[in-house]
Structure 1
Amino acid sequence: MSTALITGASGGIGKAFGEELAARGMNLVLVARSEAKLHQLASELQTKHNIKVDVIVKDLTETSGSDDVFNYTEERGIKIDLLINNAGFGDYGEFAQRDVNRQTQMVQLNILALVALTHKYLPFMQKCRAGSIINVASIAAFQPIPYISVYAATKAFVLSFSQALWAENRRYGVRVLCSCPGPTDTNFFAEARFPETIAAKNTQITTPEVVVQDALRALEKGDSVVVSGGITNNAIANLSRIVPRQTLVSFLEKQFKA
């Protein structure tokens, strides 16, 4: 029975990945900060699907977090067949006015933890000539976005990094996918402290379940990137190809200003 490791697994897209993969008969390693939520989810999935679920309560904004997760699976001999780097967060506001510690924690979680976990589990996948990695980014990855500047930049990194790894690893039989959902029915906007006037503009909301189904289908097809949320989000993702960058960013500044 294969095993998937999911970060940010206690809610939203991460939880939806866990539920879908458990239904497909995969064992799980669930990683998040929320101990109570993780254990409740693990209990539910084990009972419903007769699978094995390990729980790692870990804050990946800590620099030792990725090492601790990897050491846990190594010590227990857990082979990771599918790594889902889903953990991440955003923060709304003018960069100069935001708390610098929150900005650097965002980089730590959205980029550094993702890179570290990928680097830890990828070599074994290459050796086995099998395995998959899904990195969850956002449609924010396709252009700079004022007022969520660090978040959009971290997701641009994830997109570029994932596509490069997709190309590097085809010869090993390892699949790498970057999932780029648009606005999704999670607590992202609340945690990022978006003003209600801005959050309310996102009228086309995708469910976490749709994001997961889109990602798993794209992974099976061998795609490098998938944009969830329909035609509108795909159009947004391609705007930077046809609209001059300064023009686009100036327009987005007006759209995202509270």
Structure 2
Amino acid sequence: MPNYTLITGASSGIGESLAREYAEGGYDLILTARRTDRLEKLAGQLREQHGRTVEVISADLGNPDGVAELADTIIARGWALMGLVNNAGFGDSGAFSKRPREKQLAMIQVNVTALVDLTHRLLPTLERAQAPFIINVASVAAFQAGPNMAVYYASKAFVLSFSESLSEELRGRVSVSALCPGPTASEFAERAEASKANLFKMGTMSSQKVAAIGIKNHRNTIVVPGVRNKLMVWGGKITPRALLRRIAYRINS
């Protein structure tokens, strides 16, 4: 019986790249997202190219019932898990007071609540595997406040803190890693209405490179891909927070 790695938000961007990298590395996969047609196409390619077992489950993690249905399906089918990649997430750009409240709350549901819920539900299954792992996709945004993307930055700060805490709690049983990419070439910026923001005009890293670095280092608690992103995190640690907020406000505008 295969030992699967579950990847959420696998239909595009970093999630799709993670699926391709893992399949090439010999992993069997469970792919989930809302867009079943994209998942089926990707799964077919991975089966043909790499001869791996790839299962597809359509799930809407923006719906609390969707998280339960996903976990219950995996458990009911008796699928053994060795890896959980919590990649699903999205952002939003603009002044908090002017953005739709529903979208802000949906962001918290997907970026935070679904991640915690799914991890809690599937952890007993993971702990039965040999050398199991969890990757939670956070962001360099996790290391600072983010005016004009306030809820997104705060959600990723939660993911980073949660991942660090779990890493210590589960030491020796399950490795937990927070993957913290910077601006990445994907659908994220368009969906967040941030494609014209200075942040993305400064350049992006490919989702393939982010995925490759994340997988190579997935036994490390915090993974920041790319020299520029590492410098951003390091610079944030020595910059007064008041100044850092002003800089973030400008690059997110």
Q: Which amino acid letter does the alignment assign opposite residue 231 of structure 2?
A: A
Alpha carbons 1:142, 1:238 under 8 Å: kept: no
Partner of 1:225: 222
Seen in structure 2, the aligned counterparts of structure 1 residues 54 and 129 have a Cα distance that, compared at 3 Å, is: closer
Alpha carbons 2:43, 2:54 under 8 Å: kept: yes
Alpha carbons 2:3, 2:79 under 8 Å: kept: no
Q: Which amino acid letter does the alignment assign opposite residue 187 of structure 2?
A: N
- Match 2:240 to one of 244, 249, 252: 244
Answering whether residue 164 of structure 2 is matched by residue 166 of structure 1, we say no
Seen in structure 2, the aligned counterparts of structure 1 residues 80 and 196 have a Cα distance that, compared at 3 Å, is: same
User: 1:175-202 CA deviation, whole Å, 9 max, x = no partner?
Assistant: 1000000111101110001152535522
Partner of 1:33: 34
Query: For 1:180 and 1:118, how far apart are their aligned partners in 2?
Result: 18
* Residue 122 of structure 1: how far off its partner (Å): 1.6
Alpha carbons 2:9, 2:87 under 8 Å: kept: yes
Answering whether residue 229 of structure 2 is matched by residue 253 of structure 1, we say no
Partner of 1:145: 146
Alpha carbons 1:126, 1:169 under 8 Å: kept: no
Alpha carbons 2:7, 2:15 under 8 Å: kept: yes
Query: For 2:89 and 2:156, how far apart are their aligned partners in 1?
Result: 9
> Tell me, what secondary structure is at the counterpart of 1:9?
coil
Query: For 2:52 and 2:127, how far apart are their aligned partners in 1?
Result: 26
Alpha carbons 2:61, 2:114 under 8 Å: kept: yes
* Residue 67 of structure 1: how far off its partner (Å): 0.6
> Tell me, what secondary structure is at the counterpart of 2:224?
strand
* Residue 243 of structure 1: how far off its partner (Å): 1.2
Seen in structure 2, the aligned counterparts of structure 1 residues 28 and 97 have a Cα distance that, compared at 3 Å, is: same
Query: For 1:71 and 1:77, how far apart are their aligned partners in 2?
Result: 10
* Residue 213 of structure 1: how far off its partner (Å): 1.4
Partner of 2:196: 196
Query: For 2:4 and 2:157, how far apart are their aligned partners in 1?
Result: 28
Alpha carbons 1:90, 1:148 under 8 Å: kept: yes
The alignment's TM-score, normalised by the length of structure 1, stands at 0.93
Point out where structure 2 has 5 or more consecutive residues left out of the alignment.
none
Seen in structure 2, the aligned counterparts of structure 1 residues 53 and 100 have a Cα distance that, compared at 3 Å, is: same
Point out where structure 1 has 5 or more consecutive residues left out of the alignment.
none
Partner of 1:176: 176
Alpha carbons 2:26, 2:50 under 8 Å: kept: yes
Partner of 1:125: 126
Query: For 1:2 and 1:210, how far apart are their aligned partners in 2?
Result: 25
Alpha carbons 2:180, 2:224 under 8 Å: kept: yes
* Residue 25 of structure 1: how far off its partner (Å): 1.9
